[in-house]
């Protein structure tokens, strides 16, 4: 099946530093990737939609200058949390749609990245 | 905007009992998807329903899509401890990102 990887899986950083998270589709191409944030015991909240070769579309309330998204290729999207603060601590999950899948609307999720900002 | 409501929020069952979670969308959906997230893990795709009134089965799991394509349910027969996790429905209105319900957290007491 379609596999999506994320790196790193865990990151602990000091307040004020920037953190980059990578999301890769390993065995398929994805023109669209999605970034979600999930706080403990809560649902997935969509942050932004990442489109290959174009600017990301951010959801209301998500600061695009703080959460920089780059989708440089059909298999890689990155999320950079700039000047991270403790309130940014969360579980960040990416997902990707397989262009050639029979169920094209299906999203395949990465394993997530747990960010802890001290 | 589109909203997806899911109930119950929590469900505790004895092993062997049945379990059902319900999902309702404020708008008509092109399809609905179900995901399972184990504690500490990430959402894993279970199934997608597309047709009005569609019913699909996966072993002990039965998924239904309402006639109006605005509601759905997931039913687990004779739960097992391996069924523990949070079950999310996610609605797709077509050309939009999925909108997730808040999930139903299932715990199974052996």
| Beta strands A113-117 and A57-58, pairing class | unpaired
- For residues B45 and A104, the model is more confident at B45
* Residue-by-residue DSSP string for B17-76: --EEEEEEESS--SEEEEEEE-TTS--EEEEEE-STT-EEEETTEEEEE-TTSSEEEEEE
CA B23-B87-A104 angle, 5° bins: 80
Contacts of residue B10, Cβ cutoff 8 Å, sequence gap at least 6: B104, B105, B107
Give A34's contacts in chain B (Cβ within 8 Å). Answer: 97-98
How many whole angstroms separate alpha carbon A81 and alpha carbon B20? 38
Of B92, B99, B105, the CB nearest to A105: B92
Of B42, B99, B101, the CB nearest to A112: B42
CB–CB of A110 and B103 under 8 A?
no
**On the CB side of A93, how many CA atoms lie within 13 Å of its CA?**
23
Answer yes or no: are the C-beta atoms of B51 and B32 closer than 8 Å.
no
Instruction: Provide the token pair at B14.
Output: 């004895």
pLDDT band at residue A105 using 50, 70 and 90 as cut-offs: low
Q: Is the pLDDT of residue A104 over 80?
A: no
| Residue A117 CB burial class (10 angstroms; 0-12, 13-18, ≥19) | buried
Contacts of residue A47, Cβ cutoff 8 Å, sequence gap at least 6: A35, A36, A37, A58, A59, A62, A67, A79
Nearest CA in chain B to A34: B97
pLDDT band at residue B80 using 50, 70 and 90 as cut-offs: very high
Q: Tens of pLDDT along B12-67?
A: 999 999 999 999 999 999 999 999 999 888 899 899 999 999 999 999 999 999 99
Q: Which pLDDT belongs to residue A107? A: 82
Interface membership of A89 toward B (CB under 8 Å)? no
Is CATH 3.40.50.1820 correct for B4-109? no
CB–CB of A110 and B92 under 8 A?
no
Nearest CA in chain B to A32: B97
CB–CB of A44 and B48 under 8 A?
no
Q: Tens of pLDDT along A22-75?
A: 999 998 888 789 999 998 888 889 999 988 888 899 999 999 999 999 988 889
């Amino acid at each position: 099946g379609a596999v999506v990887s994320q790196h790193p899986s865990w990151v602990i950083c000091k307040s004020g530093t920037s953190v980059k998270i990578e999301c890769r589709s390993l065995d398929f191409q994805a023109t669209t990737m999605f970034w979600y944030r999930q706080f403990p015991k809560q649902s997935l909240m969509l942050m932004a939609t990442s489109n290959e070769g174009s600017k990301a579309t951010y959801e209301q309330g998500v600061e695009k200058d703080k959460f920089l998204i780059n989708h440089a290729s059909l298999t890689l999207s990155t999320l950079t949390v700039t000047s991270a603060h403790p309130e940014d601590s969360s579980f960040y999950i990416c997902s990707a749609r397989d262009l050639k899948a029979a169920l094209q609307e299906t999203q395949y999720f990465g394993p997530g990245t747990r960010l802890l900002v001290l | 905007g589109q909203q997806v409501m899911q109930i119950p929020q929590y469900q505790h069952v004895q092993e062997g009992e049945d379990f059902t979670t319900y999902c309702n969308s404020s708008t008509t959906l092109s399809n609905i998807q179900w995901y399972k997230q184990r504690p500490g893990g990430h959402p894993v795709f279970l199934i997608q329903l597309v047709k009005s009134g569609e019913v699909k089965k996966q072993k002990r799991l039965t998924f239904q899509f309402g006639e109006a394509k605005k509601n759905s349910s997931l039913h687990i027969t004779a739960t097992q401890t391996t069924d523990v996790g949070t079950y999310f429905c996610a609605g797709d209105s077509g050309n939009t990102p999925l909108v997730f319900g808040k999930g139903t957290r299932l715990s199974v007491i052996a």
